[in-house]
Amino acid sequence: MSAFQAPKGTYDLLPPDSATYLAVREAIAAPVRRAGYGYVETPGFENVELFSRGVGESTDIVTKEMFTLTTKGGTELALRPEGTASVLRAALQANLHKAGNLPVKLWYSGSYYRYERPQAGRYRHFSQVGAEAIGAEDPLLDAELIILASDAYRALGLRDFRLLLNSLGDRECRPAYRTALQDFLRGLDLDEDTRRRIDINPLRVLDDKRESVQSQLAGAPLIADHLCEACKAYHEQVRELLTAAGVAYEDDPKLVRGLDYYTRTTFEFVHDGLGSQSAVGGGGRYDGLSEMIGGPSLPSVGWALGVDRTVLALQAEGVELALPAATDVYAVPLGEEARRALFTAVTALRRAGVAADFAFGGKGMKNAMKSANRSGARFALVAGERDLAEGVAQLKDLATGEQGPVPLEEIVTTVKERLA
């Protein structure tokens, strides 16, 4: 055992569990790739100000949860707590918005970091897959992204998730709602930290999960009652598009999510089998974020889906993914000459697209066959001196126990036929 362990609130992802995580990432990414989203990868750390400006100085993410560090040159950096601000910064830096082909459609996958109290489904290091459509204000884009996320969950076999939907209005209608909400909140019995939020971003109080706060919000004014006609029409189009696509949703007038940059469409996917950490993903429109971080006006929309939470949701529903075999053929050589011959055969199988492994370390027959069974291989490829003298190897079906000779030069062809 090592003298060191993974830091508190983090985890190591190891086989066989890692295969499930990879499959979830690939299943989430598949629909967005088919929809024309290109892959982007950003640094694991960014300038602190990118997140304080973009995510919001009043959010828990910025005030309590960011991991920050100061370089030897005095620059303040933060491990990325979310992906949208970084992706938009990268697109602006590369001038992708000037290429004349808007929206810029990007997807990403990676690790993110927040200093939180560790518990099931909430870690200090977590994995997300995200997608962003930058530079267009179109309800069809909002609907497209929501549909792609829903399709990804369905493709994984999830059924018991729900989609919550809301609109947060825009710069035209939100100020009046903000004032009405502030007036209401000032009359409540709230602690000092929460009262400070009333002046900075009162919508964040609606997102407070504490029962002592939620119990007082029953009569709070709703943004739906303050939307301008343009925002109402926009939101109704999104709703109609989702209905036409067969995507069920629930209107949630108190859904604001935890980031300051959202405008208009806001949504969240929740799974009731996960207890208090029920959100498995979500997102929304962020039409003013580009200007917040020093860019031009670029109305945009996007989401991030949690890989860790999605795996927990699969487990809650008892869904077992059909994972590709890590090993199709396991080679078991008996003797030095067979080691060389079967190693050559394994290399040829791999080059032909067959997953193949080898009994390294000079294992005896018994131990090597145990390793073959543990690997989950479909076939064992066995050869000794007598087999090689006849120019064959024995191909054994580990499921049925059937075994027969295969000419060495026909191993690849025979194996591919049997696997097909």
pLDDT in tens, 72-93: 999 999 999 999 999 999 999 9
* Interval 27-69: pLDDT, tens: 999 999 999 999 999 999 999 999 888 777 666 677 778 899 9
The end-to-end CA distance of the chain, in Å, is 42
Query: What does DSSP assign to residue 67?
Result: -
Query: Which H or E run includes 347?
Result: helix 336-351
Residue 34 lies in a domain: yes
285 vs 167: CA distance, rounded Å? 9
Residues 6+ apart with CB under 8 A from 267: 146, 163, 164, 165, 166, 249, 255, 282, 283, 284, 303
Do 399 and 347 share a domain, yes or no?
A: yes
50 vs 47: CA distance, rounded Å? 6
pLDDT, residue 44, reads 95
pLDDT, residue 224, reads 87
Average pLDDT, the chain: 92
Residue 38 lies in a domain: yes
Do 389 and 246 share a domain, yes or no?
A: no
Do 128 and 250 share a domain, yes or no?
A: yes
Do 107 and 140 share a domain, yes or no?
A: yes
Output 209 or 195, whichever has higher pLDDT: 195
Residue 206 lies in a domain: no
Domain end, chosen from 282, 317, 352, is at 317
Instruction: Write out the residue range of the structural domain in which residue 366 sits.
Output: 329-419
194 vs 199: CA distance, rounded Å? 10
Tokens of 350: 């791999």
Do 274 and 394 share a domain, yes or no?
A: no
Do 236 and 293 share a domain, yes or no?
A: yes
Question: Would the pLDDT of 121 be above 90?
Answer: no
The alpha-carbon radius of gyration of the chain (Å, integer) is: 27
Dihedral sign computed on CA atoms, order 329, 335, 339, 340: negative
Q: What is the CATH number of the domain that holds 353?
A: 3.40.50.800
Do 252 and 348 share a domain, yes or no?
A: no
Query: 286 pairs with which residues across the strands?
Result: none
Do 359 and 413 share a domain, yes or no?
A: yes
Query: Which H or E run includes 88?
Result: helix 84-93
Do 89 and 34 share a domain, yes or no?
A: yes
Residue type, 133: A
**How far out from the chain centre does Cα 293 lie?**
24
Angle of the 17-34 helix axis to the 139-156 helix axis, nearest 10? 150
- Per the listing, tokens 């019995």 go with 189
Q: What is the CATH number of the domain that holds 280?
A: 3.30.930.10
Domain end, chosen from 261, 296, 317, is at 317
- Per the listing, tokens 């029953």 go with 218
Domain end, chosen from 259, 285, 317, is at 317
Residue 198 lies in a domain: no
147 vs 151: CA distance, rounded Å? 6
Question: Would the pLDDT of 154 be above 70?
Answer: yes
- Distances in Å between the Cα of 390 and the Cα atoms of 25, 149, 198, 397, 407 are 47, 56, 84, 21, 8
Count of structural domains within the chain: 2
Residue type, 55: V
Tokens of 107: 């997807």
Where do the H-state alpha helices sit in 3-138? 17-34, 48-54, 60, 84-93
Give the other-Cβ count within 10 Å of 248's Cβ: 9
Q: What is the pTM of this model?
A: 0.90
pLDDT, residue 118, reads 81
